[in-house]
Amino acid sequence: MTTTTMTNAQAASMTSFDCPLCQCSGELLLKELADGQRISSLVSDVVYCRGCEMGFTIPILSEAELSEAYPSEYTCYSTKENPLLLVAKKYRLARECTFVSHCHPGAKDLFEIGVGAGEFLQAAKEKGWHVAGVEPSEHGRNTTQGLTGITVQSGYASQFEFKQKYDVVAIRHALEHVLAPDLLIEKIMKDGLRPGGLIYIKVPRFDSWELNIMGKFWHGLDVPRHRYHFSSTGLKKMLERAGFSNVQVHDDIVPNDIARFLPYWFREKGRLGIKISAWLVTPLPRLLAYAFGTLVAYCLAPLGAGRMVLTGAKPIERSDSSSSRARI
């Protein structure tokens, strides 16, 4: 089955719980969620679509309507952190590049959709890859230029066009922000990857223990910025419908997420045990909170980590049998 994405005008004519991807009737899961980062005044609901096996945020907003939720100080555009945590981040980025290299040993170039501050592009550049990308935020583009010396394209994921094909296309915590994720994945398959190329996706995992326990306080919801909330099975099926082969799902454990969740709990009403736990952990120095998050994350990872990585390969046609191929 091929999914289709409707325009805003068409979406407005549907009932509020209709899935914008498959038009199936959805089920209200979480109601009246405020912006967890307290950036905007927007209030959202999260609806679950059994047809797509994932959630979506309502109301469905245009890029212009959602712009107030992306100020220049938005976290993904910032490179200011505790020096020790910056060392840990650089290590994680290097490991990420190693993982991508393992999935596609012959890769020589990479394109990232939604580069943020450009830190992943810089790590890939240091590994010897030719890199490029696209970013809608002027602040993000300027930060990337200053950090990496790379001038990335300007534009939203729904608007830009690939100028060439690449060995790897990466979408790291950007797909959930996109208005039409199914069409973007189809565009990557058609125009973004060489035969045998690798798609590399990182997103919050909707079918995780973190959502099951934390509910509306889960940091991975991040409404209204996150338009879609992907389960492992739902996103895997979306990639397979677009034509990707050998689609794999991997846990992505980020201990710092646990430390971020606790302030959400502490600010809101909740069970006494939760409030006491948050009260105890929230004041801890960042490094101790990180250590606590590491312990919790790895202990509960078998129940579904809070983030996930999906990889898939663009099939090689018989006439392209000499092409380098992703090994997943």
Domain residues for 247?
Answer: 71-253+305-313
Query: Can you tell me the distance from the alpha carbon of 169 to that of 187, in angstroms, rounded to the nearest whole number?
Result: 11
For residue 257, give the nearest of 282, 225, 283, 294 by alpha carbon: 294
Decide if 182 contacts 5 (C-beta within 8 A).
yes
* Number of domains, the chain: 1
Q: Which amino acid is at 209?
A: W
Which helix (DSSP H) or strand (DSSP E) does residue 148 occupy? helix 138-148
Query: Can you tell me the distance from the alpha carbon of 287 to that of 168, in angstroms, rounded to the nearest whole number?
Result: 34
Q: Is residue 320 part of a domain?
A: no
Strand, helix or coil at 12?
A: helix
Mean pLDDT value of segment 76-94: 73
Q: Give the C-alpha distances (Å, rounded to integers) separating 229 from 4, 140, 143, 173, 288.
A: 17, 23, 28, 11, 30
Q: Dmax of the chain from CA atoms?
A: 64
- CB-count exposure of residue 142 (10 Å: 0-12, 13-18, 19+): middle
Query: Can you tell me the distance from the alpha carbon of 169 to that of 193, in angstroms, rounded to the nearest whole number?
Result: 7
How confident is the model at residue 10, as a pLDDT?
39
CATH code, domain with 187: 3.40.50.150
Q: Is residue 249 part of a domain?
A: yes
- Which pairing describes strands 109-113 and 166-172: parallel, antiparallel, or unpaired? parallel
Q: Is residue 258 part of a domain?
A: no
Q: Give the C-alpha distances (Å, rounded to integers) separating 283 from 27, 80, 85, 99, 210.
A: 37, 20, 17, 34, 21
Considering only 18-22, 81-85, 132-136, 306-310, which range has the smallest mean pLDDT?
81-85
Query: Can you tell me the distance from the alpha carbon of 295 to that of 232, in angstroms, rounded to the nearest whole number?
Result: 23
The structure's pTM equals 0.84
Q: Is residue 287 part of a domain?
A: no
Between residues 311 and 306, the one the model is more confident about: 311
Reading phi first (left if > 0) and then psi (alpha if -120 to 50, else beta), residue 20 is in alpha
Q: Is residue 191 part of a domain?
A: yes
How confident is the model at residue 264, as a pLDDT?
61
pLDDT at 188 over 50: yes
**Strands across the sheet with 166-172, in order?**
153-154, 130-135, 109-113, 166-172, 193-204, 307-313, 245-252
Q: Is residue 17 part of a domain?
A: no
Q: What is the DSSP letter of 312?
A: E
**Strands across the sheet with 43-49, in order?**
27-34, 43-49, 54-58, 228-230
Percent above pLDDT 90 for the chain: 48
Considering only 3-12, 30-39, 241-250, 281-290, which range has the smallest mean pLDDT?
3-12
Two structure tokens written together for 173:
């915590």
Q: Is residue 144 part of a domain?
A: yes
Winning range, highest mean pLDDT, from 56-70, 102-116, 151-165: 102-116
Decide if 69 contacts 40 (C-beta within 8 A).
yes
Q: Which amino acid is at 301?
A: A
- CB-count exposure of residue 23 (10 Å: 0-12, 13-18, 19+): middle
Two structure tokens written together for 200:
């590399």
Q: Is residue 149 part of a domain?
A: yes
